[in-house]
Amino acid sequence: MFFWIFPAARQYKTQLFWYFLVLALMDPLSIIIHSATHYPYTTSLFTSILLYAVLYSEVKTGTLKYLLALVITIMLISLFNLVPFGMIFRIICNLIIIFFFFKRTLLFVADTGKLNVFHLFLLIEEISLVLKLVIVVYRVDAGDILFHITTAFQLLIAVFFSLYREDDKRLLINLRKI
């Protein structure tokens, strides 16, 4: 649960710091709010939307108002325990984040001719998160085992992000020489 604190500290003063900080605070906040309200999905919805907002920080003020209204609406709906709607919305938010990281990766490759392994790990992290959410929503057979496997995998990814930053030259693969 607290593994994501280390990547947030490591990514301090980078473009993705706020993304990693939200990841670090997501689980502790979920536990606190769940113990107070007994609605576990409220915080996860909020943090998914917050991750989206952090990554798209260039969002205009008017759009931010609509995003805030959407967050409040979703939180109210989830209070009435419409879990599938909330979780499916969370999956959609995370799919948008995957698209953002994929676009970031492609633009970096197009600009530099190099592949940054850090970007691949961002994609893998988000894909594993979506996989975990799908397992929870659709109650996949052997879902408990898959849930724990993806959690362990995410912990390993957290270790990677604790050791490396996006600007680390050792993570670049020159595609022009391949």
- CA dist 97 and 112 (Å) reads 22
Q: Is 17 exposed, middle or buried (0-12, 13-18, 19+ CB in 10 A)?
A: middle
Which backbone phi and psi does 120 adopt, to 5 degrees? -60, -40
pLDDT digits (tens, 9 = 90+) for 87-122: 777 787 888 888 889 999 999 999 999 999 999 999
Report yes or no on whether pTM surpasses 0.85.
no
Domain that holds residue 33: 2-172
Bigger pLDDT: 161 or 68?
Answer: 161
The pair phi, psi for residue 115, each rounded to 5°, is -100, 130
pLDDT at 50 over 50: yes
pLDDT, one tens digit per residue, over 16-41 is 888 888 888 877 777 777 677 666 55
Q: How many domains does the chain have?
A: 1
DSSP 8-state assignment for residue 14:
S
The answer to whether residue 177 is domain-embedded is no
Is 178 part of any domain? no
